[in-house]
């Protein structure tokens, strides 16, 4: 076995020494590449696949988990800023069970309701109130950290002592510090949710008394209640509304004049004042029966009664000269009256206008004169008026103008993009040509080495077969010329030297390849010689 390996190694060594410089370089590089690829594949196959063991761990729990894994000899990785611990996939469940048996992770950080568990009978009322405040702060912090996008939350509560009289009771307040995850921003709805969540957790806490601030020091909620929240998001509401109208108009114009041939500017004046209107209306239905009715009548028949009086009554109750009176003896006087109390309907209407209504709207549109020559600006103005609901009664305006556009920046950007694309294409083409040339060169080198090796192997095989044939013929001639004992001795000699035939053949093949003519001449000399 050892001799076979030595002969094989010696044969490979002789073959390598016979290579040219280019063939040696290709052989060395190819062998190194194969070894490197094998090493990488082995390393990839040997590397275990990791899976999360626990996520969102506190620093204390993460340290305890890592110590336990080190003690158990389990490999691990730490990701997500130390909040996630990963272990090999096939060890996730066993490690999780072992850590749970050890009480890890604890899930608490010396805060929350666990503080109340440490109270005793000797705890004073002030200390009890302080522990309650700390417990609520810890629980609220953990609750807020469960929200999407919130990485860390710190809550501070100011809960004053209860007073006997409600008028002298100081209000409770709260401040919240929020640290969001990288690339995450809290929306106005999320800030409102945080405010209401904290206010609902504390007895007597008004949402107007909750202040929310982010880690950069920006005020997310000023603590002024609904009005303060609306004021803090007023600019954002105006911007969103203007962008919505702008996008709607721009989309319509792009279909009419083409993309890039128009520009739109929208200015919206929104009313953020909260107004309440109360209206009272009184009504009467004649078909309804009156609530009460009174009738009275007077009738007199006797001396001094007057009837048929006409004219104007004077200051002393006497008729003027234009009046007539019957001054006869007996007269008749009659008077009647009727009073009815009817039911009156009362309708009270109360209207409350929410902030954010549109006071007036102004739209400005500019069309490119080079592409909008055949477009009537009045038609475009009518389309915009209908699309966004322009109301001239409230002062809305729409202005459509046709002006030449400055395309300098666009042309420069287009030229830069074209140059960059051309350079990129040229770079890719050069890289492709270089790689293709390298592949072709390596293929040619390998092909030439293979052809040359094949030619040498063929010549070696022919020369070796020729030499062997000559040796066989020489041996046969000598065996025929000598007695039988000599032939038997020759056969015994061949059997003893058979182990050395392969080495002799290798050396002889190399000699024949280098000097075939000299070897042939030497063999011919051997053949003509007689013992």
pLDDT band for position 228 (50/70/90)?
very low
DSSP secondary structure of 477-522: HHHHHS-HHHHHHHHHHHHHSGGGHHHHHHHHHHHHHH-HHHHHHH
Q: Residue range 361-370: average pLDDT?
A: 92
CATH number, domain at 388? 3.30.300
pTM of the model: 0.41
> How far, CA to CA in Å, does 346 sit from each of 291, 293, 312?
16, 21, 42
Residues 6+ apart with CB under 8 A from 402: 366, 367, 368, 369, 372, 373, 375, 377
The burial class, CB within 10 Å (0-12 / 13-18 / 19+), for 144 is: buried
Of the two residues 173 and 125, the one the predictor is more confident about is 173
Q: Are 303 and 280 in contact (CB under 8 A)?
A: no
Does 294 score more than 90 pLDDT? Answer: no
Q: Does residue 132 share a domain with residue 84?
A: no
Does 246 score more than 90 pLDDT? Answer: yes
DSSP secondary structure of 411-433: HHHHHHHHHHHHHHHHHHHHHHH
CB-facing half-sphere around the CA of 441: CA atoms within 13 A: 9
Does 322 score more than 60 pLDDT? Answer: no
Asked if residue 186 belongs to a domain, the reply is yes
Asked if residue 9 belongs to a domain, the reply is yes
Decide which of 405, 439, 469 is a domain's last residue.
405
pLDDT band for position 245 (50/70/90)?
very high
Q: By three-state DSSP, how is residue 391 classified?
A: coil
Does 406 score more than 50 pLDDT? Answer: yes
Asked if residue 189 belongs to a domain, the reply is yes
pLDDT band for position 327 (50/70/90)?
very low
Asked if residue 490 belongs to a domain, the reply is no
Q: Does residue 29 share a domain with residue 10?
A: yes
pLDDT band for position 397 (50/70/90)?
very high
Provide the CA 459 distance to its chain's centre, in angstroms. Answer: 69
pLDDT at 267: 93
pLDDT at 330: 65
Q: Residue range 236-244: average pLDDT?
A: 87
Provide the CA 52 distance to its chain's centre, in angstroms. Answer: 21
Q: By three-state DSSP, how is residue 202 classified?
A: coil
Q: Does residue 245 share a domain with residue 394?
A: yes
Does 50 score more than 50 pLDDT? Answer: yes
pLDDT at 309: 47
Asked if residue 436 belongs to a domain, the reply is no
Single out the residue of 166, 164, 114 nearest to residue 142, CA to CA.
114
pLDDT at 13: 73
Least confident of 155-164, 322-331, 362-371, 408-417: 322-331
Residue 186 gets which letter from DSSP?
A: -
User: What is the rounded distance in angstroms from the CA atom of residue 326 to the CA atom of residue 182?
Assistant: 110
pLDDT at 385: 92
Q: Does residue 60 share a domain with residue 176?
A: no
pLDDT at 484: 47
User: What is the rounded distance in angstroms from the CA atom of residue 111 to the CA atom of residue 138?
Assistant: 5
Share of the chain above pLDDT 70, in %: 74
DSSP secondary structure of 3-53: HHHHHHHHHHHHHHHTS-HHHHHHHHHHHHHHHHHHHHHHHHHHSPPEEEE
pLDDT at 7: 73
Residue 462 gets which letter from DSSP?
A: H
pLDDT tens for 84-142 read 888 888 888 888 888 887 777 765 555 666 666 666 777 777 788 888 888 888 889 88
Q: Does residue 380 share a domain with residue 269?
A: yes
> How far, CA to CA in Å, does 320 sit from each of 175, 323, 328?
90, 6, 18
Instruction: Please report where in the chains the tokens 């800030």 appear, as a residue.
Output: 191
Asked if residue 327 belongs to a domain, the reply is no
pLDDT at 417: 87
Q: Residue range 156-177: average pLDDT?
A: 85
Q: Does residue 191 share a domain with residue 90?
A: no
Q: Are 368 and 401 in contact (CB under 8 A)?
A: no
pLDDT at 222: 62
Q: Does residue 363 share a domain with residue 270?
A: yes
What is the average pLDDT value for the chain, to the nearest integer?
A: 77
Q: Does residue 54 share a domain with residue 39?
A: no
Residues in a beta bridge with 347: 281
Q: Does residue 154 share a domain with residue 216?
A: yes
The burial class, CB within 10 Å (0-12 / 13-18 / 19+), for 15 is: middle
Single out the residue of 398, 276, 293 nearest to residue 337, CA to CA.
293
pLDDT at 467: 63
pLDDT at 472: 65
Domain around 204: 127-162+170-225
Q: Are 454 and 462 in contact (CB under 8 A)?
A: no
Share of the chain above pLDDT 90, in %: 13
Asked if residue 312 belongs to a domain, the reply is no
Q: Residue range 360-364: average pLDDT?
A: 93
Residues 6+ apart with CB under 8 A from 198: 140, 144, 155, 174, 176, 205, 210
pLDDT tens for 9-20 read 777 777 777 777
Does 490 score more than 50 pLDDT? Answer: no
Q: Residue range 377-401: average pLDDT?
A: 91
CATH number, domain at 197? 3.30.300.30
Asked if residue 204 belongs to a domain, the reply is yes
Longest dimension (CA), the chain: 209
pLDDT band for position 360 (50/70/90)?
very high
Peptide bond into 105 cis (omega under 30): yes
Helix axis angle, 225-232 to 234-257, nearest 10°: 40
Best-predicted range by mean pLDDT (299-313, 328-342, 499-513): 328-342
Q: Residue range 251-260: average pLDDT?
A: 90
Single out the residue of 440, 436, 509 nearest to residue 468, CA to CA.
509
Q: Does residue 55 share a domain with residue 34?
A: no
**Pairing relation of β-strands 397-403 and 357-368?**
parallel
Residues 6+ apart with CB under 8 A from 370: 261, 404, 405
Q: Does residue 209 share a domain with residue 176?
A: yes
Does 480 score more than 90 pLDDT? Answer: no
CATH number, domain at 66? 3.30.70
Number of domains in the chain: 5
Q: Are 118 and 111 in contact (CB under 8 A)?
A: no
pLDDT at 180: 87
Phi-psi region of 288 (alpha: psi -120 to 50; beta: other; left: phi over 0): beta
Q: Does residue 72 share a domain with residue 41?
A: no
């Amino acid at each position: 076995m050892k001799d076979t390996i030595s002969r094989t190694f010696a044969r490979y060594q002789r073959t390598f020494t016979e290579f040219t410089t280019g063939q040696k370089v290709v052989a060395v590089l190819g062998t190194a590449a194969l070894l490197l690829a094998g090493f990488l594949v082995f390393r990839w196959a040997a590397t275990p696949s990791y899976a999360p063991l626990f996520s969102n761990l506190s620093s204390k729990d993460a340290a305890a988990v890592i110590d336990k894994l080190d003690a158990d000899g389990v490999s691990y990785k730490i990701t997500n800023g130390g909040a996630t611990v990963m272990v090999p996939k096939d060890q996730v469940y066993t490690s999780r069970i072992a850590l749970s048996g050890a009480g890890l992770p604890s899930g608490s950080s010396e805060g929350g309701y666990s503080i109340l568990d440490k109270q005793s009978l000797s705890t004073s009322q002030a200390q009890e109130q302080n522990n309650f405040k700390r417990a609520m702060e810890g629980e609220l912090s953990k609750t807020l950290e469960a929200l999407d996008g919130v990485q860390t939350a710190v809550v501070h509560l100011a809960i004053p002592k209860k007073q006997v009289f409600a008028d002298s009771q100081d209000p409770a307040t709260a401040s919240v510090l929020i640290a969001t995850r990288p690339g995450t921003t809290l929306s106005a709805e999320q800030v409102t949710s945080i405010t209401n969540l904290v206010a609902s957790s504390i007895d007597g806490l008004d949402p107007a008394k909750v202040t929310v601030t982010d880690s950069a020091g920006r005020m997310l909620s000023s603590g002024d209640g609904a009005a303060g929240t609306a004021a803090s998001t007023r600019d954002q509401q105006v911007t969103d509304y203007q962008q919505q109208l702008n996008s709607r108009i721009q989309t319509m114009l792009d279909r009419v004049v083409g993309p890039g041939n128009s520009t739109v500017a929208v200015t919206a004046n929104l009313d953020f004042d909260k107004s309440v209107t109360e209206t009272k209306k009184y009504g009467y239905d004649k078909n309804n029966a009156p609530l009460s009715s009174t009738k009275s009548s007077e009738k007199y028949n006797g001396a001094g009664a007057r009837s048929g009086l006409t004219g104007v009554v004077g200051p002393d109750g006497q008729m003027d000269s234009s009046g007539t009176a019957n001054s006869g003896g007996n007269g008749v006087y009659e008077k009647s009256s009727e009073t009815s109390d009817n039911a009156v309907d009362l309708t009270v209407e109360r209207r409350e206008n929410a902030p954010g209504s549109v006071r007036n709207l102004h739209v400005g549109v500019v069309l490119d004169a080079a592409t909008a020559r055949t477009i009537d600006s009045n038609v475009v103005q009518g389309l915009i008026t209908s699309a966004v609901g322009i109301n001239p009664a409230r002062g809305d305006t729409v202005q459509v103008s046709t002006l030449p556009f400055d395309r300098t920046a666009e042309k420069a950007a287009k030229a830069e993009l074209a140059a960059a694309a051309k350079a990129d294409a040229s770079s890719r083409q050069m890289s492709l040509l270089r790689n293709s040339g390298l592949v072709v060169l390596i293929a040619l080198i390998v092909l030439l080495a293979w052809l040359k090796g094949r030619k040498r192997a063929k010549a070696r095989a022919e020369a070796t077969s020729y030499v062997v044939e000559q040796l066989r013929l020489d041996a046969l001639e000598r065996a025929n010329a000598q007695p039988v004992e000599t032939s038997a001795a020759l056969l015994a000699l061949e059997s003893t030297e058979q182990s050395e035939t392969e080495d002799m053949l290798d050396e002889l093949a190399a000699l024949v390849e280098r000097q075939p003519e000299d070897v042939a001449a030497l063999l011919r000399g051997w053949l003509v010689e007689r013992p």
